[in-house]
């Protein structure tokens, strides 16, 4: 094993940042529960990994509580009221843009944290946010991921005045270990510490609307003021002794469950690195992604129920008849996932993102908030479940899992955007079919199908079929380890011990109470 699990009789935290993990553990040590620690961890990630998932993005979580229930938190932002298919087409767009003000939805992260904390948290909100502010207000050493993202995206960031001021006013390039200091973002967190609704109803929203509209955006203050995150129910399936929970639409969590259900139903025989496994999985990816892109969107606009989409009859017909046709304007990439389990057994599986690295590349300069590009997920097809519409939530690639079995409770998630259901299914199989421990499962070689470009990427160690066997798909071999997803797992073992695991593919770490 390249990284080592952290075991604790108390609580554990795993995230893509050692700083965020440390602050999460600090909250647990101060008597906070997993939800309190999640607020601090999420906000820390927003500062130290802003390209992956800042407060200008969205947030989702699954929460397992001591009563055996699992809850769903949706901090999925919505499109501004004035943004419509007609609006975009009248301005010469035939698809949604991949950057700029029209690619942005109202960020849902802060309100997602608020509704989660109000329902399940125990510590004072101001105290939680102040821990983050006090830890980071004087600057912090940046990770390799942050430095690399700044350097590789410099040209695009310089095009936006706010991004240029925030990230390149004092420095031309970055190296891991450099000290980075925010002023505006810290001031935003200080305001949020007084009341999380300050993000939506105070000067942060005012400055956001002013700046985004100066770039040609279509926002109104009411788009922020009237936005609310919500608590709902997850979706789930039963496989063997396990109940597998995922996030419902507008997320692609259902795609994970469809893949796992079909893999179990078809009962195909293969080992973990074999060409047979690759072929068996790829046979399912194309039709199931076709289902995803044809049926999934804001649930208020979907015409088919989750129950229908998970029925065996529907899935059997889908793999015979569905052909993939890309209706999405862009493929996402960067995201960050974390998981926290406290001593009492609360489990949080949390994920946040701007969609791609740096999202829209637009940063409001006063509060130094870089905005998402989630509106780029909409299409401009009238009548489609994921068609652009006012105050509509787009199809979302973010999802995460909680798995409950007879002997363990597990949280699992990763970065990976459109690859996420494929990698969720592979990790599940690694643990429950091939009997790997979670750390081995994380470090096992992976393969993915890119639906946008119809190519297969795989890591060294996979016995890849030929292009002919893959119906002419382009094949790209990556060295091991690559950046095909950065995953993390946390679990409660049969004896009550908590364990946390992090992926060799990222900068993250696991920690816990001692």
> How confident is the model over 94-152, as pLDDT tens digits?
999 999 999 999 999 999 999 999 999 999 999 999 999 999 999 999 999 999 999 99
Structural domains of the chain, count = 2
Strands 230-232 and 409-414 turn out to be unpaired
This prediction has a pTM of 0.97
Residue 4 counted as domain residue: no
The DSSP-derived string for 471-504 is TT-EEEEE-SS--S--EEEEEE-TTS-EEEEE-T
Domain assignment present for 260? yes
Q: How far is CA 6 from CA 427, 437, 513, in A?
A: 19, 13, 9
At residue 85's C-alpha, the angle toward residues 79 and 87, to 5°, is 85
**Whole-number percent of the chain with pLDDT over 90:** 93
328 has pLDDT over 70: no
Residue 328: HSE in the Cβ half-sphere, 13 Å Cα cutoff: 29
Angle ∠(470,270,423) on CA atoms, nearest 5: 70
160-177: average pLDDT: 97
DSSP states along 19-69: HHHHHHHHHHHTT--HHHHHHHHHHHHHHHSHHHH-TTSEEEEEEE-TTS-
Kindly report the average pLDDT of the chain as a whole number. Answer: 96
- Whether 99 and 174 share a structural domain: yes
With respect to residue 3, please indicate whether it lies within any of the assigned structural domains.
no
Q: Which residues contact 226 (CB under 8 A, 6 or more apart)?
A: none
Domain match, 151 and 19 both: yes
Q: Among the listed ranges 16-20, 445-449, 470-474, which one has the minimum average pLDDT value?
A: 470-474
The domain in which residue 204 lies consists of 9-231+340-377
* 224 and 240 fall within a common domain: no
Out of 75-89, 110-124, 158-172, 328-342, which region has the weakest mean confidence (pLDDT)?
A: 328-342
Same domain as 160, residue 135? yes
CB-CB contact of 501 with 352 (8 Å): no
Statement: residue 331 has pLDDT above 80: no
Q: Take residue 386 and report the two structure tokens written for it.
A: 């994921």
Region 25-45: mean pLDDT is: 99
Is cis: bond before 481, omega within 30 of 0? yes
How confident is the model over 394-404, as a mean pLDDT? Answer: 97
Three-state secondary-structure class, residue 294: helix
Residue listed under structure tokens 């301005």: 91
Using DSSP's 3-state secondary structure scheme, residue 244 falls into: strand
177 and 189 Cβ atoms separated by less than 8 Å:
no
Task: Give the confidence band of 332 by pLDDT, cuts at 50, 70, 90.
Answer: low
452 DSSP 8-state letter = T
Same domain, 364 and 450: no
pLDDT digits (tens, 9 = 90+) for 462-509: 999 999 999 999 999 999 999 999 999 999 999 999 999 999 999 999
pLDDT at residue 68, as a whole number: 81
CATH number of 311's domain: 1.10.246.130
Q: Are residues 224 and 355 in the same domain?
A: yes
pLDDT level of residue 67 (50, 70, 90 thresholds): confident
Backbone phi and psi for residue 63, each to the nearest 5 degrees, phi listed first: -130, 125
Residues 207 and 245 in one domain: no
One domain, residues 167 and 43: yes
Residues 450 and 322 in one domain: yes
- Which phi and psi angles does 366 have, rounded to 5°? -70, -50
User: Which one is predicted more confidently, 472 or 333?
Assistant: 472
CB 263 within 8 A of CB 280: yes
Residue 71 is assigned to a structural domain of this protein? yes
Per-residue pLDDT band at 2 (split at 50, 70, 90): confident
Backbone φ and ψ for 303, nearest 5 degrees, come out as -105, -5
In this prediction, residue 322 has a pLDDT band, given cuts at 50, 70 and 90, of confident
pLDDT of amino acid 323: 79
Bridge partner list, 14: 339, 510
- Round to the nearest angstrom and report the end-to-end CA distance of the chain: 22
Give mean pLDDT, residues 2-24: 97
Residue 171, domain member (yes or no): yes
Per-residue pLDDT band for 271 (boundaries 50, 70, 90) equals: very high
Q: Is residue 85 part of a domain?
A: yes
- Amino acid 326: pLDDT: 64
Phi, psi of 243 (to 5 degrees): -105, 120
Chain centroid offset of residue 490 CA: 16
* 126 & 274 share domain: no
pLDDT category of residue 272 using cuts at 50, 70 and 90: very high
pLDDT at 333 over 80: no
Asked if residue 368 belongs to a domain, the reply is yes
Strand partners, 487: 414
Bond prior to 250 in cis (omega within 30° of 0): yes
Cβ atoms < 10 Å from Cβ of 275: 16
Per-residue pLDDT at 334 exceeds 90? no
Closest CA to 359 of 57, 95, 143: 57
pLDDT, average across residues 410-424: 95
Residues 196, 85: one domain? yes
Whether residues 367 and 469 fall in one domain: no
Residue 4: strand pairing partners? none
Domain-embedded: residue 494: yes
Structural element, H or E, at residue 275: helix 275-295
């Amino acid at each position: 094993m390249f990284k080592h699990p952290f075991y604790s009789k108390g609580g554990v935290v795993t995230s893509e940042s050692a700083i965020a993990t440390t602050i999460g553990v600090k909250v647990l040590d101060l008597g906070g529960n997993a939800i309190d620690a999640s607020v601090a961890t999420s906000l820390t990630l927003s500062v130290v990994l802003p390209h992956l998932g800042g407060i200008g993005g969205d947030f989702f979580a699954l929460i397992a509580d001591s009563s055996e229930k699992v809850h769903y938190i949706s901090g999925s932002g919505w499109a501004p009221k004035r943004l419509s298919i007609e609006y975009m087409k009248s301005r010469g767009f035939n698809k949604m843009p991949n950057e700029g003000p029209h690619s942005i939805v109202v960020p849902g992260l802060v309100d997602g944290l608020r509704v989660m904390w109000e329902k399940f948290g125990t510590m004072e909100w101001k105290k939680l946010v102040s821990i983050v502010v006090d830890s980071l207000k004087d600057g912090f050493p940046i990770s390799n991921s942050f430095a690399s993202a700044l350097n590789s995206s410099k040209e695009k960031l310089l095009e936006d005045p706010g991004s240029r001021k925030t990230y390149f006013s004092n420095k031309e390039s970055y190296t891991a270990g450099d000290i980075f200091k925010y002023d505006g973002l810290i001031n935003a967190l200080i305001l949020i510490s007084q009341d999380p609704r300050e993000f939506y109803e105070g000067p942060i929203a005012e400055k956001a609307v002013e700046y985004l509209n100066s770039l040609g955006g279509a926002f109104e203050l009411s788009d922020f003021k009237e936005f609310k995150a919500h608590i709902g129910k997850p979706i789930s399936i039963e496989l063997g002794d396990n109940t597998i929970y995922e996030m419902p639409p507008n997320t692609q969590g259902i795609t994970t469950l469809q893949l796992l259900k079909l893999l179990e139903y078809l009962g195909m025989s293969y080992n973990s690195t074999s060409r047979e496994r690759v072929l068996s999985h790829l046979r399912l990816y194309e039709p199931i992604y076709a289902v995803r892109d044809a049926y999934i969107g804001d649930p208020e606009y979907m015409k088919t129920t989750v129950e229908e989409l998970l029925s065996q009859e529907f899935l059997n017909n889908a793999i015979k008849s569905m052909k993939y046709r890309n209706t999405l304007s862009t493929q996402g990439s960067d995201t960050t996932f974390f998981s926290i389990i406290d001593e009492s057994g609360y489990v949080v599986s949390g994920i946040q993102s701007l969609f791609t690295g740096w999202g829209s590349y637009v940063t409001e300069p006063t509060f130094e908030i870089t905005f998402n590009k989630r509106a780029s997920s909409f299409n401009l097809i009238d009548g489609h479940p994921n068609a652009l519409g006012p105050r509509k939530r787009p199809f979302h690639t973010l999802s995460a899992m909680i798995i409950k079995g007879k002997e363990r409770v597990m949280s699992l998630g990763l970065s990976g955007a459109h690859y996420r259901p494929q990698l969720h299914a592979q990790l599940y199989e690694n643990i429950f079919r091939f009997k790997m421990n979670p750390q081995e499962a994380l470090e096992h070689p992976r393969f993915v199908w890119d639906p946008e470009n119809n190519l297969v990427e795989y890591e060294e160690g996979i016995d890849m079929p030929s292009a002919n066997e893959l119906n002419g798909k382009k094949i790209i071999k990556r060295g091991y380890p690559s950046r095909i997803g950065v995953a993390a797992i946390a679990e409660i073992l049969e004896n009550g011990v908590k364990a946390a695991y992090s992926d060799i593919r990222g900068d993250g770490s696991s920690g816990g109470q001692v």
